Chains A and B, each alone.
Chain A
Amino acid sequence: MTETWTDGNSIGGTLSDVFSVDMTAATGRCAGCGNTGPLAEGRVFSHSPGLVLRCPACGKALLRLARAPGRAWLDVRGLEYIELAAPQ
């Protein structure tokens, strides 16, 4: 039993390169199964050149992020919506 994945807490720093608010506490709805929960509880696989955040319920890729020097590619097709804290 080797779980090689971590969870969405671990990508809070990386996502702060792209988003201006904390994304670990943001809530997302899976476009596959409808599971709705904090991104921190998603499963993170980061062995590939980019990282993938997967739905903890159905495994669908919620968010993919690839980086190169000075650029980022973000795919959030797996998220129907994201609810996040916004400055007043």
Chain B
Amino acid sequence: MARAAVLGRLTWLVGQLAVVREESATARTLVLDVPGWAGHLPGQHVDVRLTAEDGYSTERSYSIASAPGGTRIELTIQRLDDGEVSPYLTEVLSPGNPLELRGPIGGYFAWHPGDPRPVLLIGGGSGVVPLMAMARTRAATGSTAPMRLIYSTRSPATLLYAAELQRLAPSGTGLGIDIVYTREAPDGWAGQVGRLDAPRLLGLAGSPAAGQQHFICGPTGFVENAARLLVDQGIEARQIRTERFGPSGGTP
């Protein structure tokens, strides 16, 4: 599979934006064709480099949203109003434009589709992106590993991948998806509204299954909290893999 997942020497590649999908008022998915792409594992990310005409350049990391497949990858970018890179990627970059990137990066926060162990995914905000790659890969590879995704988001307006989340998890597939709305829920929502805490986690995920693996991704504070909840349930630290984006989520 992804040789570059083990061998880390990476070169900068030039991708081309093929398609744009709007995911919310402030997030969009960039579908990129990247000649020379070596393949990836779900959970891995890329570094994107922008270079100005005067030579100034800056890099940001973005999680890959898509399942592995050829030389096409998808990145879902959350626009940060004070961001240096995300406004360009979400408002300026257009189909046909080139984009410089390197990857795949990160063998730690990666799910191997051949792993049969149950897996619990917990994502906050755009932290759902690499977890979505895992859910998509599970479906694409026919994996039967039991998988549950708990996705915390502010409101229906900030929910990413809404239609696909419904499609991916009909009953009987072994994939369960729970949305946690922290500020505002859709009309008729029967669940609670508020942050993920110990009783809600237990109510959604139940007691941890034997051998269960855990991936948590999101803003630093969200990840610290969710990891603490799992440790408090008695789960060993080595069964919890985390990825933190920083203060409010968007750029790792």
4 smallest CB-CB distances across A and B, nearest first, come from A3-B220, A40-B108, A13-B47, A24-B108
Whether a CB of chain A sits under 8 angstroms from the CB of B123 is no
Whether a CB of chain A sits under 8 angstroms from the CB of B37 is no
What are 15 inter-chain pairs, A to B, with CB distance below 8 A? A2-B247, A3-B221, A3-B224, A4-B220, A4-B247, A6-B245, A9-B106, A10-B244, A12-B105, A14-B59, A21-B6, A21-B8, A22-B5, A22-B105, A24-B105
Residues in B203-251 with C-beta less than 8 Å from chain A: 219-221, 224, 237, 241-247
Which residue from chain B places its CB closest to the CB of A7 in the assembled complex? B244
How many of chain A's residues touch chain B, expressed as a range?
Answer: 20 to 34
Whether a CB of chain A sits under 8 angstroms from the CB of B102 is yes
Q: Which residues of A contact B47 (CB under 8 A)?
A: 13-14
Whether a CB of chain A sits under 8 angstroms from the CB of B109 is yes
Whether a CB of chain A sits under 8 angstroms from the CB of B125 is no
Given A2-B247, A4-B246, A13-B47; A87-B107 close (CB under 8 Å): no
Contact yes or no, B220 A13, CB < 8 A? no
Whether a CB of chain A sits under 8 angstroms from the CB of B10 is yes
